[in-house]
Structure 1
Amino acid sequence: MMPAGGAMTRGPRILLRQIREALGGAGAGATPAQDRLNMVVRIIARSMVAEVCSIYLRRGSGELELFATEGLNPDAVHNTRLRPGEGLVGEVARMAQPISLSDAPSHPSFSYRPETGEDPYHAFLGAPLLRGGRAIGVLVVQNRTERRYDEEEVEDIQTIAMVLSETVSSGELLALDELRDVELAPHRPERLKGQKFSDGLAFGHVVLHEAPLPPEKLLSEDPAMEEARLKLALATLKTGLDVMLDKGQGLAGPSFEVLETYRMFADDRGWNRSLEEAVRNGLTAEAAVDRVRNEHRARFAQARDPYIRERLHDFEDLANRLLRVLAGDKPGERELPDDAILVARNLGPADLLEYPRDKLKGLLLEEGSAASHAAIVARALQIPCVGRLMGLRDRLSEGDMVIADGETGETYLRPRPDMLEAVQSRMAVREQRQAEFAQLRDVPAVTLDGQRITVLTNAGLAVDLENMAETGAEGIGLFRTEFQFMVSDELPRLNAQTALYKLVLDAAGDKPVTFRTLDIGGDKVLPYLEAEREENPALGRRAIRLGLDRPSLLRMQLRALLAAGAGRELRVMFPMIATVDEFRAARELVDIECAWAKRRGRALPALLRVGAMVECPSLLWHLDALLPLTDFVSIGTNDLFQYMYAADRTNPLVSDRYDPLSPPTLRALQSIQKACADTGTPVSICGELAGRPLEAFALIVLGFTRLSAPAGGVGPVKRMILSADLSAARRGMANLLNLSTGSVRNEIESLARKLNVAV
């Protein structure tokens, strides 16, 4: 009988060290695999005063096979296999959490296997071997006497199971070639369908954004020191969250509710107690966090309720924050393979920019949207990106080969050789196409019937300046100034803003640059700016609304822009103008700053042009009042269409319910173009629509002659323009605007094909 507390009178740390010492150089193959496993179960049984100790590992078929035992019939080893979910062992694996029973045979899930000889044993304690939130096996101890294992014993066996799963998976306990058919991690080829966030193709080896802990960092030599490290990290984490919540320093996540949830979980007694007990049992602080995170991931993954599954994300984010506090390192300090494919649940722009550009070949995300900041940065860096890949991380291990297909919105995990060959062939075709685009770099974008189209590029990062020269874009039609704010830990000072804007203008030379003033709020929240809770932030205080409410913030940016543009042309554009009065108020701030500079004898731009973004539907019926006040306008199709259709473009449940190539959107664009033509107001389109050849074809047919596209779209759009005959296309397009269908994409594509337009 196992005495109370007898399981770990010497502590699991000592037990685990005994296992390591007994195995010695086992990973090198000095001792046969079965002998090493038999040694492990004997040590565990003796230390836990158990009459039976068994290890089951999951086969590729999903069956759990008895790999080693002390106490059961040795002939059952490798002969006893339990189907998925069969017996108490199967139940432990299915639930991904421990089961403790005083009388196992009386449990309805008990499965009797006569070959094991387990008839005399009543007390049962099983714990899953978890890796990546999946149960790769089960560790079981049993005793003859009917007794209930106490909480400390359950905690102890979980600690042992965690270390066993890592040592088995790393090949430290068993050589990997001896585990070929053991499903330590998914190993079969898989295809996952997601959404394309950034065009392109790439293949390489997986790098997990949340890096796994190596086995040598699992066990501590000084539990007291590790407990102190954990307590300090927890205190630091909670203090940081308190500052954000209680002192009005703004939000560090997408919503106030998420931050409140983090703070609530940070105080959760069960979470804190689990961490502390894991450390006291011999794990490092990092291993304790990783173990508890794995247990939550496995448990919550069983839930069907979306709300409960979302709580898993909250716990994981909190665990990741705690690990960063403990480690103090950054992604950019990690060693990466030369063909890294980054895998994450979601990313902020600062996280992505910390990785070395020369090694990062692709990006795969479980969440996000094509309008997310990570996707925008990926497009700027011309990195293929696929998102909305549910369950991705639990299907991958660090170092797995993977294909990121940004053309189709798919990813192939552990692809077969023929799949890799096919992708390499497609990449060769893409390279040839890119070479063709490069030849068009200096060719003016003129249609077959002589219409000159100006093709600009969107920017926001320093790398975009390089892309402008490489693509042959004729300037920057949209420079997103908020990226400088989003990747900074504090509000960029006047000098820093001025330096960036001057750098952009210097790089552009005589090419035009249109700066969009700070577009934050909604899903773009800065941790150092106070923000109030909003029920619907996409329709809340964002962009120009925030700028007018915080005039000192907007005035500082305008002052920096005027200083950078001294002596040359400066184009400034205000986002999300919903009323004419908003534009008047914003333009008045420009006048105030110009007067401020004049009084101090500072040089002003030689030519100052001030414009507005048309992205609120309200302006469609007030252009007659707005246009005379502006020097130019630019249409932000991303926001304009989401507001027209009341469909959040960052929400995958509704973002694909409408087609930008529909009669309502095309009519709206046509009405804006006509109003601008009638008043002589220059107009451009700077949304993502302008970077896709088919959509850009529809835009130039409607009469738009200035398009601002992502860097990767400049070449394809220019090729399309050079192959288009607008006079013929306009005759074909005329009837499409009056159709009653929800989309005319197929009709526009048929028209383009008929006219041999390269879309």
Structure 2
Amino acid sequence: MRSTLAGPRVLLRRLREVMAEPINAQERLDKIVVLIAANVVAEVCSVYILRADGVLELYATEGLNRDAVHKTSLKVGEGLVGLIAADARPLNLPNAQAHPAFAYRPETGEEAYNSFLGVPILRAGRTLGVLVVQNQSHRTYFEDEVEALQTTAMVIAEMVAAGELEAIVQQGTKLDMSRPMHFQGVALSDGVGLGHVVLHEPRVVVTNLIAEDATVELERLERAINRLRISIDDLLNSGDMAPSGEHRDVLEAYRMFAHDRGWIRKIEEAINNGLTAEAAVEKVQSDTRARMMRQTDPYLRERLHDLDDLAHRLIRELMGRQQGPISESLPQDAVIVARNMGAAELLDYGRDRIRAVALEEGGPTSHVTIVARALGIAAVGLADNLVSLAESGDAVIVDGESGQVHLRPAPDIENAYAEKVRFRARRQAQYRRLRNKPAVTRDGAKLSLQLNAGLLVDLPAVTESGGDGVGLFRTELQFMVASSFPRMSVQTDYYRQVLEASEGRPVTFRTLDIGGDKVLPYLRAIQEENPAMGWRAIRFGLDRPGVLRTQIRALLRAAAGRDLKIMFPMVSEVDEFRRAKGVVEREIAHLTRHGYALPERLQLGVMIEVPSLLYQLDELYSLVDFASIGSNDLFQFFNAVDRGNTRVAGRFDTMSPAFLRALKEIVDTAARHDTPVTLCGEIAGRPLEAMALAALGYTNLSMSPSALGPVKAMVRALDLARLKETVLPLLDAPGDLRSLRPTLRAFAQETDVPF
């Protein structure tokens, strides 16, 4: 017989009253199951909650034996309840006992009941439990009854997520929401960070679940969807948007979902059943996520990310929240958790509070990784599904050495990592004792170890680590953290402070390397199909000479009476250097005419990061005062591998004979021209790779501050002549040798070289 009650809306109104009562969690659950049973005219209503050990425990029931509460349990996948938890889908049966998955529990007294309806208790697509109703009669439950149960399950999910049920957890057990979880990702930045989760794009917590007036909520939804559609259409129709490419594909997917009547109809149905507009979006998206997470098709999984993003945007529209990350009120031990993020977004956070970064995506040479290393922040990438399983405030450990992330770690794991942190501190103390010792090999070869930097706060590390100077100062970081384009006076003051903070050590300033994935928030972004090979760095500077002239003038004025080294990035032909040098010469003439003091000594160089320069080295070295190798981009272009694409970023090895031969050609040609060459890419900061570079003839390396100690320790233990005898013959040896890494590792182990 069909229920004559008003369905989900009546139930939700009564639930709201129960949720407001000053009662404990068990009493609240007991009242909820009574309400549900009455609403759907069911003889039984039961709530099962998922524990950390993968067991579903009966937490409340109306109609079954009350003595079975907290005593009856089923494993995930066991029985009808376990099947719902495993599949995250409702199950509606007129004759439950005939189903092959039916599991009888005699202590419950459920043998008298035939019809069965169960729905998963979901949050962000994650199963937290199961809600069940049963009747003696053989019947199939109606759609509005299924909807009522799903809506109520959402309320229970919020109780679980809020920690309300922790007070009634049985001794010796834990809820699944508090279950320790382990993720094996890829190490991006060395270090160990212990702290608490801060979601980079936090899920908006929907606290107002139950609607007062469905008509009002439907109108709110319509207005929010219209605003969302307009914002997406504006982006797609703007002159900045390329006619094709990945950015456009993502926005086209957004537009498709935003205009999808099926998706919107489901949200409207949830509103008509009594939810607020934002709660309806959250419910529909949670159901969709639970279903799509079980798909194996990678295309469908990618579309899930698109739909997640769109749903979060719509919720923010409905709640009047700002789109994008929120960085205020960070805890003192923040661990930033994100699908992915840009370098500028990381710099937006208070650096002194960040202990680590954990990403679902991200590659070893992505710019956010480089910034994390520069800031000395542990980072891990490719931690699949971390964002949906983490909650703000969860305890977390990020191991930037092994690539592991421990979410809600068990006490023994936490204690072990606390000891690891103490061990690292002792090891860092050993490195500090090397601070004033030279980087000289056992057989007397001297290396110069410098630091990569990009902010004023990086400069004290030069002195503290015993570095020989700054081999790469990324000037764009100042522009990326500014809210507007820095005026020349601001730039001049900033560069002067950098030179003063270096305490007489040389600083090599790289001119602006913006474009690609490094976008200034106050400049109009140009969408390109291949931004890494697009309008960036020196190409941008030469096409926007006013920007380049302003920076050059500021550098010249800041270095008055001092030595100044300027290098230009992304040079792909010698003529680009000639043009850039012409800009410098014009600025020198301008400052001279107006009576400004000039640098005592000026050196101009280029970054070698485009393979075309390998065939112009003789001409190049005859013009430049020095060169620096940006091995990250050079390796990327050399192998045609997008360093930000996690599918291919680890496909090729920097220690391959082909790439090492290219590096050797660069340094050998420089030696013939007596031109200094520094390698300032990420491989300079890894002891094993630095060994290979030393064998090739590189005596100037620049790296992140945290890498200098380990590299210096390696250098001081190294017999360079013996290493060259081992490595160099392999570069041109016939055979199918794919990497010299095993050879280098074996050499280090045999000769007690730390790596």
Normalization by structure 2: what TM-score?
0.87
Deviation at 1:692? 1.4
Question: What amino acid does structure 2 have at the position aligned with 1:561?
Answer: L
Answer whether contact 1:167 1:215 (CA < 8 A) is retained.
no
* Matched residue, 2:6: 6
Matched position secondary structure for 1:520? coil
Deviation at 1:708? 0.7
* Matched residue, 2:406: 412
Deviation at 1:199? 0.6
* Matched residue, 1:297: 289
Matched position secondary structure for 1:385? strand
- Deviation per CA, 1:191-216, whole angstroms, max 9, x where unpaired? 43211111112333444434466685
Answer whether contact 2:8 2:151 (CA < 8 A) is retained.
no
2:498 maps to which of 497, 501, 504: 504
* Matched residue, 1:744: 740
2:328 maps to which of 328, 333, 356: 333
Matched, 1:201 2:192: yes
Answer whether contact 1:186 1:396 (CA < 8 A) is retained.
no
Deviation at 1:36? 4.3
Matched position secondary structure for 1:93? helix
Deviation at 1:639? 1.6
Answer whether contact 1:72 1:118 (CA < 8 A) is retained.
no
Deviation at 1:690? 1.0
| Cα pair distance change 1:324/1:607, threshold 3 Å | farther
* Matched residue, 2:22: 24
1:678-693 pair list within 5 angstroms: 678-693=672-687
| Cα pair distance change 1:44/1:19, threshold 3 Å | farther
| Cα pair distance change 1:114/1:392, threshold 3 Å | closer
1:255-654 pair list within 5 angstroms: 255-275=247-267, 287-322=279-314, 326-328=320-322, 331-336=326-331, 338-488=332-482, 491-526=485-520, 528-531=522-525, 533-598=527-592, 602-654=596-648
| Cα pair distance change 1:175/1:425, threshold 3 Å | closer
Answer whether contact 1:460 1:479 (CA < 8 A) is retained.
yes
Answer whether contact 1:169 1:184 (CA < 8 A) is retained.
no
| Cα pair distance change 1:148/1:421, threshold 3 Å | closer
- Deviation per CA, 1:583-634, whole angstroms, max 9, x where unpaired? 3333333344444555655554443322111112222122012111212111
RMSD: 3.6
| Cα pair distance change 1:107/1:259, threshold 3 Å | farther
Question: What amino acid does structure 2 have at the position aligned with 1:149?
Answer: F
Distance 1:728 1:667 in 2: 19
Matched position secondary structure for 1:412? strand
State the number of aligned residues. 745
Answer whether contact 2:340 2:362 (CA < 8 A) is retained.
yes
Answer whether contact 2:560 2:597 (CA < 8 A) is retained.
yes
Distance 2:262 2:559 in 1: 57
Matched, 1:57 2:49: yes
Distance 2:457 2:233 in 1: 36
Answer whether contact 2:83 2:101 (CA < 8 A) is retained.
no
Question: What amino acid does structure 1 have at the position aligned with 2:740?
Answer: V
Answer whether contact 1:201 1:406 (CA < 8 A) is retained.
yes
Deviation at 1:471? 1.6
* Matched residue, 1:45: 37
Matched position secondary structure for 1:570? strand
Deviation at 1:380? 2.0
Deviation at 1:545? 3.1
Question: What amino acid does structure 2 have at the position aligned with 1:750?
Answer: A
Deviation at 1:237? 4.7
Matched position secondary structure for 1:371? coil
Answer whether contact 1:331 1:355 (CA < 8 A) is retained.
no
Distance 2:17 2:221 in 1: 25
Distance 1:319 1:697 in 2: 49
Structure 1 gap ranges (5+):
28-32
Answer whether contact 2:46 2:61 (CA < 8 A) is retained.
yes
| Cα pair distance change 1:490/1:744, threshold 3 Å | same
Deviation at 1:672? 0.9
- Deviation per CA, 1:482-537, whole angstroms, max 9, x where unpaired? 33344455555545444433332332242222222232333334555445554433
Distance 1:250 1:481 in 2: 27
Matched position secondary structure for 1:655? coil
Distance 1:114 1:405 in 2: 44
Answer whether contact 1:385 1:405 (CA < 8 A) is retained.
yes
| Cα pair distance change 1:353/1:100, threshold 3 Å | farther
Deviation at 1:674? 1.2
Distance 2:694 2:132 in 1: 69
Q: Which is further off, 423-432 or 282-291? A: 282-291
Question: What amino acid does structure 1 have at the position aligned with 2:694?
Answer: I
* Matched residue, 2:713: 719
| Cα pair distance change 1:330/1:742, threshold 3 Å | closer
1:154-169 pair list within 5 angstroms: 154-169=146-161
Normalization by structure 1: what TM-score?
0.87
Answer whether contact 1:200 1:384 (CA < 8 A) is retained.
yes
Q: Which is further off, 242-251 or 720-729? A: 242-251
Matched, 1:734 2:728: yes
Structure 2 gap ranges (5+):
none
Distance 2:134 2:487 in 1: 66
Matched, 1:172 2:167: no
Answer whether contact 1:58 1:182 (CA < 8 A) is retained.
no
Question: What amino acid does structure 1 have at the position aligned with 2:189?
Answer: S
| Cα pair distance change 1:472/1:617, threshold 3 Å | same
Question: What amino acid does structure 2 have at the position aligned with 1:159?
Answer: T
| Cα pair distance change 1:323/1:199, threshold 3 Å | farther
